[in-house]
Structure 1
Amino acid sequence: MKLICKTIILGFFLGGVLSCSDGAQQFDPDFIPKNTKTSFSKLNSPIVLIDEAHNNFLTTNGRYKPFSQVLSSDGYTVKPSKEKFTLEYLKQADILVIANALDRNRQDWTPPFGDAFETGEIEVVKQWVSQGGSLFLVADHTPFPKVIEKLSAAFGFEFSNGHVRVAVFRLDDNSLMDHSITKGAPHSERITQVKTFGGSAFQIPETAKPLLMLGKSATSLVPDVPFQVNAKTPRVSMNGWYQGAVLEVGKGRVAVFSEGMAFSSQLIVSTGKKHGLVSGGAEQNEQFLLNVMHWLSKVI
């Protein structure tokens, strides 16, 4: 996939919108997890499948390799998932990660955008979660929310298909919710700050627990074509929208996030700059990821 990378300047609102391409952005080859404690052994290691069967932009040995490394450091067994979702197939997994699925193998970002998943697959995932599975769903900036909107809607989440700026969520201003979902989990820690790197935003169902809430200054640019932004591009308030939340569904659990780099470490080849887990302000992101994984693993 050769996706065009553009940096767009739009007044004081947006210093730059970073798009992603195979040549311009890759996983950080020097990344080493900070975590040195292992929550699981080979005897009780949860199986984590990372979806790679739906043209995913974030994969086990690609841009989500650091994500995989963090999970492996805690004792999870991480495997790529290269098959269409069936109930029998998903029964082998404890946690399914779907990160930035796309509708087809693209050479550009030109609309229209179709569905990443077949109707039957969505029904299977919801049934699997209801029966006890755990889903970790990530849909970044446009067009990623669009292509998974039927899957996210099946769990009651409504995404905005736009570009949101980099955000810092803090416990002291209530933008980072006190995620008591992880209290009591082995090697979980109280987090006071999380940083995200753009992405989109969503509204949550009434029964969900919010984790990352955007404030009054948050807005989203919603272009007709991803990354083609100018002064006339609609700008929508995201005040009270979310970039992270969790939900219990039947016997299972779901964690939804609208920004993917917060849980990885990626290198911008053209500049040599790294974004994500090793960035300033994101020092606690790795532990936040582990806390969420502990909740999905039902160790509490």
Structure 2
Amino acid sequence: MKYLHILMLCFVIDILYSQQVPDLEFAPEITNKYEGVIYVDHAHNNFHRIDNRFKPFANVLKKAGYSVKAFENPFTEKNLKDVKVLVISNALSANSKSPFVTPTESAFTNKEIQNIKNWVAQGGALFLIADHMPFAGASKKLGDAFGFTFYDSFLFDKRNRGIFDYTEEENELGVHEVINGDDKSEKITSIRTFTGQAFKIPNKATSILKTNENLVVFLPDTMWRFSEKTKRFPAKNMSQGAVMKFKKGKVAVFGEAAMFTAQLAGKNKFKVGMNAPEASQNYKLLLNIIAWLTK
């Protein structure tokens, strides 16, 4: 019965997410101003692009002073040469199509992964977002290149819910400048995420969103399909968001994408993302991450 409940819950979530439209009225007050060019990957069958589901992501950054551009080319040494900050959100291989079943094909060629790794090592800043299955699986090899272990999975709590609040009060937020900010107005005390995946981080990384044994990693064979036989394990000592310096560059890795956008879902226009009342500090985290990457 418990896993039937998960199946029904996921069915509802799947319908809501499939009917999402960007909330173009979301416009938080931003007093601090920044500068720089942020490129967002559009070349890898991305579920989130700045001309659709990630438009609120781009709008927040533009309001803060950044220039936001689509990156529409393969990851070659030449194409990456003049890029300072690159955002990759929920990439998929060109062959991906529903129903999504394991194993998930990599969204990137081995050569592209090596080019990204070299680019970061030489001073590039990568913001990698890989959500629940199949997005986690599609970015697994890229995560591996930097020492992050992705699971092609879903993250739920013990009540089978997929919405999580990470708070300073519960010691679930990491100690880092992307949480503390540069001044009091940028300080973060609570972040909400919406399902996604949890992953293991390398020793040199700092976990920003710390998961624990009260969260469970589910490993279904098919997207949104669960049963009593579905493999699972506690998410103890894992992370849903982490940052790390890598040689001359920087990497920010997060296992959930909706937290960085603003969507209206379903007929009732349910708010999912930065526009949700419980996620009022999420846009600050986005700004703090980008500010850290651009420094």
User: Are the equivalent residues in 1 in contact too, given 2:179–2:188 (CA < 8 A)?
Assistant: no
Does residue 286 (structure 1) correspond to residue 283 (structure 2)? The answer is yes
Does residue 16 (structure 1) correspond to residue 13 (structure 2)? The answer is no
With 97-106 and 131-140 compared, the bigger mean Cα shift is at: 97-106
Hey, what does 2:76 align to over in structure 1? 86
Does residue 297 (structure 1) correspond to residue 271 (structure 2)? The answer is no
Q: How does 1:172-211 map to 2 (within 5 A)?
A: 172-181=169-178, 185=182, 189-211=186-208
User: Are the equivalent residues in 1 in contact too, given 2:165–2:192 (CA < 8 A)?
Assistant: yes
Hey, what does 1:25 align to over in structure 2? 20
User: Are the equivalent residues in 2 in contact too, given 1:211–1:245 (CA < 8 A)?
Assistant: yes
Hey, what does 1:238 align to over in structure 2? 235
Aligned AA for 1:211?
I
Distance 1:217 1:15, change over 3 A: farther
User: Are the equivalent residues in 1 in contact too, given 2:96–2:105 (CA < 8 A)?
Assistant: no
Residues 68-115 of structure 1 deviation map (CA, whole Å, 9 limit, x = unaligned) = 111111111100111001122112222100000001254413334211
1:100 to 90, 101, 126: 90
Distance 1:157 1:179, change over 3 A: same
CA distance in 2, matches of 1:29, 1:183: 28
CA distance in 2, matches of 1:159, 1:62: 26
Q: How does 1:1-300 map to 2 (within 5 A)?
A: 10=3, 16-17=9-10, 18-19=13-14, 24-32=19-27, 34-40=28-34, 45-104=35-94, 106-111=96-101, 112-164=103-155, 165-181=162-178, 185=182, 189-298=186-295
User: Are the equivalent residues in 2 in contact too, given 1:185–1:294 (CA < 8 A)?
Assistant: no
Aligned AA for 1:268?
A
**Normalised by the size of structure 1, how large is the TM-score?**
0.88
CA distance in 1, matches of 2:143, 2:150: 8
* Corresponding residue pairs, total: 286
Distance 1:186 1:46, change over 3 A: farther
Deviation at 1:232, TM superposition (A): 2.8
Identity of aligned residues (%): 36
User: Are the equivalent residues in 1 in contact too, given 2:177–2:288 (CA < 8 A)?
Assistant: no
With 225-234 and 82-91 compared, the bigger mean Cα shift is at: 225-234
Deviation at 1:272, TM superposition (A): 1.8
Distance 1:266 1:181, change over 3 A: closer
Hey, what does 1:4 align to over in structure 2? none
Residues 126-172 of structure 1 deviation map (CA, whole Å, 9 limit, x = unaligned) = 11111111000000001111111111000000012211122111111
CA distance in 2, matches of 1:161, 1:199: 10
* Larger relative helix fraction: 2
- Structure 1 alignment gaps of length 5 or more: 1-8
User: Are the equivalent residues in 2 in contact too, given 1:262–1:277 (CA < 8 A)?
Assistant: yes
Aligned AA for 2:293?
L
CA distance in 1, matches of 2:145, 2:7: 33
CA distance in 2, matches of 1:292, 1:256: 10
- Structure 2 alignment gaps of length 5 or more: 156-161
Aligned AA for 1:37?
T
With 137-146 and 84-93 compared, the bigger mean Cα shift is at: 84-93
User: Are the equivalent residues in 2 in contact too, given 1:189–1:291 (CA < 8 A)?
Assistant: yes
Deviation at 1:15, TM superposition (A): 6.9
Give SS of 1:124's match.
helix
User: Are the equivalent residues in 2 in contact too, given 1:39–1:187 (CA < 8 A)?
Assistant: no
Aligned AA for 2:33?
S
CA distance in 2, matches of 1:222, 1:214: 17
Hey, what does 1:3 align to over in structure 2? none
Give SS of 1:66's match.
helix
